[in-house]
Amino acid sequence: MSLTINTGTDELLCLIDDRVATITLNRPGKRNALSDSLTPALRRILLELNTCQDVGCIVITGAGSAFCAGGDISGMGAVSGDPRALEPTIQERTRALQHKHDTLTHRLFDHSKPTIAALPGVAAGAGLCIALACDIRIAAASAFVTTAYRNVGFSGDYGGSWLLNQLVGPARTKELFYTARRVQSDEALALGIFNQVVADEDFLTETMNLAKHIAAGPPIALGYMKENINAATGCDLHTSLNMEADRLIRCASTQDHKEAVTAFMAKRAPIFSGR
């Protein structure tokens, strides 16, 4: 049975079905560009899903033919209509953006659930960063990505310089930031930006097959896997080994581990409960 979650705005949709929560950025006329309604709703729904026991995997996608075009350029450079309003200082604007980063990019990167970015089309700027903050990226063959920031005179935000660097290294990251060129799906796959590229007509089916397979896995073990791998980007081997030992011993005491062993011996598929 599917469950529709109220996000507070039609610009963001959320449906839970078969332990998969599908979050859809829903501004197709704007190529799902971020807005003052969509982005706060995305932050809230990610926080809500963090502790939802009925969700084993999250898919973030875009309505129509785009994933997310990043910031809405039509709203950039706007000034307050009230001449008496005080302009925020650079420090205040910096702190506000840092808070937005923490509650979107960092929240998504460290989310307790496995996350998949499903790209039916373009991911640009902050939209690309949202995709990069997910654990896995699956894309339609017609999709492409671009850093885009140079085109509007920006240096980058939402973690793109770090997230892209983890996948392709500093030299390629600099090239893609400096040029803002389009990276088509085949090149993005070869670079490791995309995990999987599928034919446009198979995109939805393959995305859900992947998400449901992950969602059917052992939730506790998957959560620890994510912690281990994320931590490994900033620690040495000894620290990583110690962390792995701690998490594996914790897994050994779970009902899911016992169920997996029983299922293996009985030559059947395990049914995990998250306990």
Domain residue ranges of the chain, discontinuous segments joined by +: 3-76+86-215, 219-265
Distances (CA, A) of 23 to 49, 56, 107, 200: 10, 14, 15, 19
- For the stretch 137-170, pLDDT in tens is 999 999 999 999 999 999 999 999 999 999 999 9
CATH 2.60.200.20, applies to 219-265: no
Nearest 5°: phi and psi at 90?
-60, -40
Q: How far is residue 116's CA from residue 1's CA, in Å, rounded to a whole number?
A: 21
List pLDDT tens digits, range 57-80.
999 999 999 999 999 877 665 544
Percent pLDDT > 70 in the chain is: 96
Amino acid at site 164: L
CB 169 within 8 Å of CB 112: no
**Residue 43, SS3 per DSSP:** helix
Q: In the Cβ-directed half-sphere of 166, how many Cα atoms lie within 13 Å? A: 17
The per-residue pLDDT string of the chain (275 residues; one tens digit each, 9 = 90 and over) reads: 799 999 999 999 999 999 999 999 999 999 999 999 999 999 999 999 999 999 999 999 999 999 999 998 776 655 445 666 688 999 999 999 999 999 999 999 999 999 999 999 999 999 999 999 999 999 999 999 999 999 999 999 999 999 999 999 999 999 999 999 999 999 999 999 999 999 999 999 999 999 999 999 999 999 999 999 999 999 999 999 999 999 999 999 999 999 999 999 999 999 999 99
User: How do 57-62 and 115-119 pair as beta strands?
Assistant: parallel
CATH 3.30.930.10 for the 3-76+86-215 domain, yes or no? no
Average pLDDT, the chain: 95
Asked if residue 126 lies in contact with residue 158, where contact means CB atoms within 8 angstroms, the answer is yes
